[in-house]
Amino acid sequence: MKIRVLGCHGSDQLVDGGLGPHQCRTCGFLINETVLVDAGTVGPTLRLAEQKRIRHVLLSHLHFDHIQGLPTLADNLVDEVVEPVVLTSIPEVLKGLQSHVFNGEVYPDFLQLPDPQHPIFVFRPLSVGKEQEVSGLRVIAIPVNHQVPTVGFFIREGQSTLLYSGDTAETEEIWKLAARTPTLKAALIETSFPDAMAELARVSKHLTPSLFAREFRKIGRPDLPVYVYHLKPRFREQIRRELAQLKIPNLTVLEEGQEISI
Ligand SMILES: [Zn+2]
Ligand SMILES: [Zn+2]
């Protein structure tokens, strides 16, 4: 399985890094060129030909930083539709997209356009806890603990499984399933704020480095390759320092443009 990082931060921002300016973008991960996991970033990083190859979009939740690429994806594909792109998530998320985004007011209803027989998007509801086939991958959605209905995903291809946490605070079920998934090869886990902002993390239901460490331990695999994402760009350097102090052996903080193979 090949994972390409289009965006991996909790907000869009140009930041100054050691090697010059770096563009942080909101979450979007392209798997095997055809499945997009969250749609925070699409158009700014993918050529039209690459956007046309996307068959499914797995959405963890409805927050704007995870869906903001969908309207422009629809625009870019509007005269290119061969087959609709399948927006795949729990029913609450799909219902929210229809009533709050593609409602003919905020944006055109691309579930009916350009013509109801051949729309840009179709919906596919996911039942939680059940393995389902998505573009050749096996996907299980597990609810996590966030401000709105949110799921993380187990995404398996053959004998390799990737865990994607979604936005979450302290949670249990997803780690329990991770602990009993022998094919688990890597985990993408969110961390949004530095430890000093634990109170904001608590009310917004996100993790800090200390909270991340506590959650990660629940998997019981200290050597599992773990990729931390969803850092708020403003606190990036501080969060990176705090994560480094945890001394977790195979921890990587994700960057835009990175590719992972498992
Ligand atoms: Zn988010
Ligand atoms: Zn969120």
Which numbered ligand comes closest to the C-alpha of 61?
2
For residue 20, the tally of other CB atoms under 10 A from its CB is 6
| CA separation for the pair 171, 184 (Å, rounded) | 18
* Number of compact structural domains in the chain: 1
Domain CATH for 26: 3.60.15.10
Ligand 1 centroid to residue 236 C-alpha, Å: 15
Ligand 2 centroid to residue 79 C-alpha, Å: 32
Task: Give ion ligand 1 contacts, CB < 5 A.
Answer: 63, 65, 167
Cα distances from 89 to residues 55, 67, 141, 165, in angstroms, run 14, 12, 8, 14
Q: Which residue in 166, 163, 164 sits closest to 63, CA to CA?
A: 166
Residue position matching structure tokens 């229809």: 98
Higher pLDDT, 85 or 18: 85
For the entire predicted model, the pTM comes to 0.97
Burial string for 21-52 (b: 16+ CB within 10 Å, else e) reads ebbbbbbbbbbbeebbbbbbbbbebbeeeebe
Ligand 1 centroid to residue 65 C-alpha, Å: 5
Ligand 1 centroid to residue 37 C-alpha, Å: 13
Rounded percentage of the chain residues whose pLDDT exceeds 70 = 100
Ligand 1 centroid to residue 116 C-alpha, Å: 31
Dihedral angle, C-alpha 112, 118, 119, 125, nearest 10 °? 100
Residue position matching structure tokens 């709105």: 148
pLDDT in tens, 4-59: 999 999 999 999 877 789 999 999 999 999 999 999 999 999 999 999 999 999 99
Helix (H/G/I), strand (E/B), else coil: 212: helix
| CA separation for the pair 170, 151 (Å, rounded) | 13
For residue 78, name the pLDDT band (cuts at 50, 70, 90): very high
By CB atoms closer than 10 A (0-12, 13-18, 19+), residue 117 is exposed
Ligand 2 centroid to residue 118 C-alpha, Å: 31
Tell me, rounded to whole angstroms, the distance of Cα 164 from its chain centroid: 7
**Do the Cβ atoms of 163 and 188 come closer than 8 Å?**
yes
| CA separation for the pair 4, 233 (Å, rounded) | 20
For residue 81, name the pLDDT band (cuts at 50, 70, 90): confident
Ligand 2 centroid to residue 16 C-alpha, Å: 25
Ligand 2 centroid to residue 64 C-alpha, Å: 8
Which numbered ligand comes closest to the C-alpha of 7?
1
Which numbered ligand comes closest to the C-alpha of 168?
2
Ligand 2 centroid to residue 160 C-alpha, Å: 27
| CA separation for the pair 155, 41 (Å, rounded) | 20
Ligand 1 centroid to residue 10 C-alpha, Å: 5
The pLDDT score that the predictor gives to residue 18 is 73
Ligand 1 centroid to residue 228 C-alpha, Å: 13
Ligand 1 centroid to residue 206 C-alpha, Å: 9
DSSP-assigned letters across all residues of 37-85: EEESSSTTTS-HHHHHT--EEE-S---HHHHTTHHHHHHHHTTT-SS-E
Tell me, rounded to whole angstroms, the distance of Cα 39 from its chain centroid: 7
Q: Which domain holds residue 179?
A: 2-261
pLDDT in tens, 246-255: 999 999 999 9
For residue 88, name the pLDDT band (cuts at 50, 70, 90): very high
Ligand 1 centroid to residue 117 C-alpha, Å: 33
Calculate the average pLDDT of the chain.
97
**Do the Cβ atoms of 153 and 164 come closer than 8 Å?**
yes
The pLDDT score that the predictor gives to residue 149 is 98
